[in-house]
Chain A
């Protein structure tokens, strides 16, 4: 089984609350089990992505940092 990313979002430069709003919108279009990847530069997006994942039940599979860019992978929850 290979990991395929269904959608990639470039959220670099955006500030709260836009990274989460764009992510929530994009997640709506995905099928259960699909992965969404997002790149952001707002340091506040790290706790925000964690909180959003916990509150909505869509698991945050990965949260890493490369220099000033934060990388997140979310998995759309199974219904």
Chain B
């Protein structure tokens, strides 16, 4: 026995579905932290901690230049071969050694920026990184770029989750607010 169903025209069906749809709020925030500069990492961490404060499941994926702020402040040279070592010599890691993307002036820019931040009681990237860990923000380094740039797990700060790849990043980003900074 066959059942006859009256098919609605697709457009009417679509409009009906739209009308039923409630305005939903993304429960997740995923930030791809690709840049290593002070003025990029700072907003990244401000948004990550705020997302967690808003009750969102928050993840930051650190890749390429974004990995260097995760290097321990006391670790100076990273890498296995001369190219990776040279990279770390010219691009020092650590959240207390970040450069500005403009007006760096050989370090005078960041020094002034940090001074201003202290004066205005703005939390530093280092403090925000600690707050993010405390609030349960998932901080995930990208495995491939770690290998490429010669960064080992022991070069990076504690409190990070296991390094992962693009599939994990995109799977987490499903249905989330996504930002690429």
Point out residues on A near B: beta carbons under 8 Å: 13-18, 20-21, 23-25, 52, 55-56
* A16 touching B46 in the complex, CB below 8 Å, given contacts A21-B131, A21-B135, A55-B25: yes
> Apart from A17-B46, A24-B54, what are 15 other A-B pairs with CB-CB below 8 Å?
A14-B121, A15-B121, A16-B46, A17-B53, A17-B128, A20-B54, A21-B50, A21-B53, A21-B131, A24-B52, A24-B53, A24-B135, A25-B53, A52-B54, A55-B25
B102 an interface residue at 8 Å Cβ cutoff?
A: no
Nearest A residue to B122 via CB reads: A15
Question: What are the residues of chain B within 8 A of A56 when measuring CB–CB?
Answer: 54-55
B49 an interface residue at 8 Å Cβ cutoff?
A: yes
Task: Write 26 A-B pairs (CB below 8 A) sorted by A numbering.
Answer: A13-B121, A14-B121, A15-B120, A15-B122, A16-B46, A16-B122, A17-B46, A17-B49, A17-B50, A17-B123, A17-B128, A18-B121, A18-B123, A20-B50, A20-B53, A20-B54, A21-B53, A21-B135, A23-B53, A24-B54, A24-B135, A52-B53, A52-B54, A55-B55, A56-B54, A56-B55
Nearest A residue to B56 via CB reads: A55
Question: What are the residues of chain B within 8 A of A14 when measuring CB–CB?
Answer: 121
Distance from B73 Cβ to chain A, minimum over Cβ atoms (Å): 22
Tier of interface size on chain B: 10 to 19
> What separation, in Å, do the CA atoms of A75 and B52 have in the docked complex?
19
Question: What are the residues of chain B within 8 A of A18 when measuring CB–CB?
Answer: 121, 123
On whether the beta carbons of B54 and A21 are closer than 8 Å, the reply is: no
The 4 A-B pairs of least Cβ separation, nearest first, read A24-B53, A17-B50, A15-B122, A13-B121
Task: Give a binary string over B108-126; 1 marks a CB under 8 Å from any A CB, 0 the rest.
Answer: 0000000000001111000
Distance from B105 Cβ to chain A, minimum over Cβ atoms (Å): 24
Question: What are the residues of chain A within 8 A of B52 when measuring CB–CB?
Answer: 24
